[in-house]
Amino acid sequence: MKRLLLYTGLLGLALAFFLTGCQGGQSGAASAIQKYLQARAASDVDQMTLLSCPAWEAQARVEAASFKSMNAKLDGVICQVSGSDGSTTLVTCQGHIVTTYQGEARQWTVGDHPFKVVQQDGQWQMCGYAN
Protein backbone atom coordinates (compact mmCIF):
# COMPACT_ATOMS: atom_id res chain seq x y z
CA MET A 1 0.00 0.00 0.00
CA LYS A 2 2.79 2.43 0.89
CA ARG A 3 4.57 1.55 -2.34
CA LEU A 4 1.40 2.28 -4.35
CA LEU A 5 1.06 5.67 -2.65
CA LEU A 6 4.72 6.40 -3.35
CA TYR A 7 4.33 5.54 -7.06
CA THR A 8 1.13 7.56 -7.30
CA GLY A 9 2.85 10.54 -5.67
CA LEU A 10 5.85 10.28 -7.99
CA LEU A 11 3.59 10.00 -11.03
CA GLY A 12 1.68 13.10 -9.90
CA LEU A 13 4.92 15.01 -9.39
CA ALA A 14 6.20 14.00 -12.82
CA LEU A 15 2.91 15.09 -14.39
CA ALA A 16 3.11 18.46 -12.62
CA PHE A 17 6.64 19.04 -13.95
CA PHE A 18 5.51 18.06 -17.45
CA LEU A 19 2.55 20.43 -17.40
CA THR A 20 4.69 23.25 -16.03
CA GLY A 21 7.14 22.69 -18.88
CA CYS A 22 4.32 22.90 -21.43
CA GLN A 23 3.02 26.12 -19.95
CA GLY A 24 6.53 27.56 -19.88
CA GLY A 25 6.85 26.89 -23.60
CA GLN A 26 3.66 28.74 -24.36
CA SER A 27 4.57 31.61 -22.07
CA GLY A 28 7.83 31.69 -24.01
CA ALA A 29 5.79 32.63 -27.08
CA ALA A 30 4.16 35.51 -25.17
CA SER A 31 7.54 36.58 -23.80
CA ALA A 32 9.00 36.66 -27.32
CA ILE A 33 6.25 39.01 -28.47
CA GLN A 34 6.71 41.24 -25.44
CA LYS A 35 10.45 41.44 -26.26
CA TYR A 36 9.61 42.12 -29.90
CA LEU A 37 7.37 45.02 -28.86
CA GLN A 38 10.09 46.38 -26.54
CA ALA A 39 12.56 46.26 -29.42
CA ARG A 40 10.01 47.95 -31.69
CA ALA A 41 9.52 50.80 -29.23
CA ALA A 42 13.31 51.17 -29.06
CA SER A 43 13.61 50.94 -32.87
CA ASP A 44 16.16 48.15 -32.31
CA VAL A 45 16.23 46.57 -35.76
CA ASP A 46 18.86 43.98 -34.78
CA GLN A 47 16.79 42.68 -31.87
CA MET A 48 13.58 42.72 -33.91
CA THR A 49 15.09 40.67 -36.72
CA LEU A 50 16.62 38.30 -34.17
CA LEU A 51 13.13 37.77 -32.71
CA SER A 52 11.56 37.29 -36.17
CA CYS A 53 11.13 34.25 -38.36
CA PRO A 54 12.96 34.52 -41.71
CA ALA A 55 9.73 35.32 -43.59
CA TRP A 56 9.05 38.30 -41.25
CA GLU A 57 12.54 39.86 -41.10
CA ALA A 58 11.92 42.40 -43.89
CA GLN A 59 8.71 43.57 -42.23
CA ALA A 60 10.49 43.76 -38.87
CA ARG A 61 12.95 46.20 -40.43
CA VAL A 62 10.04 48.36 -41.62
CA GLU A 63 8.41 48.23 -38.17
CA ALA A 64 11.68 49.14 -36.47
CA ALA A 65 11.77 52.37 -38.46
CA SER A 66 8.14 53.23 -37.66
CA PHE A 67 8.85 54.67 -34.20
CA LYS A 68 12.36 55.98 -34.80
CA SER A 69 12.83 59.45 -33.28
CA MET A 70 9.40 59.26 -31.61
CA ASN A 71 10.63 58.54 -28.05
CA ALA A 72 8.42 55.43 -27.86
CA LYS A 73 7.81 53.37 -24.73
CA LEU A 74 5.52 50.52 -23.72
CA ASP A 75 2.61 51.28 -21.42
CA GLY A 76 0.88 48.42 -19.63
CA VAL A 77 1.75 45.81 -22.26
CA ILE A 78 0.87 42.28 -21.22
CA CYS A 79 0.89 39.36 -23.66
CA GLN A 80 -0.54 35.85 -23.38
CA VAL A 81 -1.03 32.83 -25.58
CA SER A 82 -4.57 32.92 -26.93
CA GLY A 83 -4.72 29.88 -29.20
CA SER A 84 -3.22 28.35 -32.29
CA ASP A 85 -3.69 28.35 -36.04
CA GLY A 86 -2.18 25.18 -37.45
CA SER A 87 1.49 25.14 -36.50
CA THR A 88 1.37 28.79 -35.44
CA THR A 89 0.82 29.90 -31.84
CA LEU A 90 -1.34 33.00 -31.45
CA VAL A 91 -0.43 35.61 -28.85
CA THR A 92 -2.75 38.43 -27.84
CA CYS A 93 -1.49 41.54 -26.09
CA GLN A 94 -3.07 44.43 -24.22
CA GLY A 95 -1.63 47.86 -23.68
CA HIS A 96 -0.09 50.59 -25.78
CA ILE A 97 3.03 51.96 -27.32
CA VAL A 98 3.16 55.63 -26.36
CA THR A 99 5.06 57.97 -28.65
CA THR A 100 5.98 61.60 -28.33
CA TYR A 101 6.77 63.57 -31.44
CA GLN A 102 7.14 67.36 -31.53
CA GLY A 103 5.51 67.58 -28.10
CA GLU A 104 2.45 65.56 -29.08
CA ALA A 105 1.79 62.25 -27.27
CA ARG A 106 -0.01 59.45 -29.05
CA GLN A 107 -1.04 55.93 -28.03
CA TRP A 108 -0.81 52.96 -30.37
CA THR A 109 -2.83 49.91 -29.33
CA VAL A 110 -0.84 46.67 -29.47
CA GLY A 111 -3.94 44.46 -29.30
CA ASP A 112 -5.48 45.15 -32.71
CA HIS A 113 -4.53 41.72 -34.09
CA PRO A 114 -3.13 38.55 -32.53
CA PHE A 115 0.54 37.92 -33.25
CA LYS A 116 1.57 34.75 -35.07
CA VAL A 117 4.50 33.04 -33.35
CA VAL A 118 6.45 29.99 -34.45
CA GLN A 119 9.11 27.98 -32.71
CA GLN A 120 12.25 27.39 -34.76
CA ASP A 121 15.43 25.82 -33.41
CA GLY A 122 13.98 26.02 -29.90
CA GLN A 123 13.34 29.79 -30.13
CA TRP A 124 9.96 31.52 -30.33
CA GLN A 125 9.83 34.01 -33.21
CA MET A 126 7.39 36.66 -34.40
CA CYS A 127 6.04 35.66 -37.79
CA GLY A 128 3.25 38.11 -38.63
CA TYR A 129 -0.26 39.02 -37.58
CA ALA A 130 -3.44 36.96 -37.62
CA ASN A 131 -6.45 38.45 -39.35
Q: Using H for helix, E for strand and C for coil, what is the string for the chain? A: CHHHHHHHHHHHHHHHHHHHHHHHHHHHHHHHHHHHHHHHHCCCHHHHHHCECHHHHHHHHHHHHHCCCCCCEEEEEEEEEEEEECCEEEEEEEEEEEEEECCEEEEEECCCCCEEEEEECCEEEEEEECC
User: What domains appear along the chain, each with residue ranges and CATH number?
Assistant: 2-129 (3.10.450.100)
Per-residue pLDDT tens digits for 66-120: 888 889 999 999 999 999 988 899 999 999 999 998 889 999 999 999 999 999 9
Segment 49-61 shows an average pLDDT of 97
6-54 residue pLDDT tens: 343 333 333 333 333 333 445 899 999 999 999 999 999 999 999 999 9
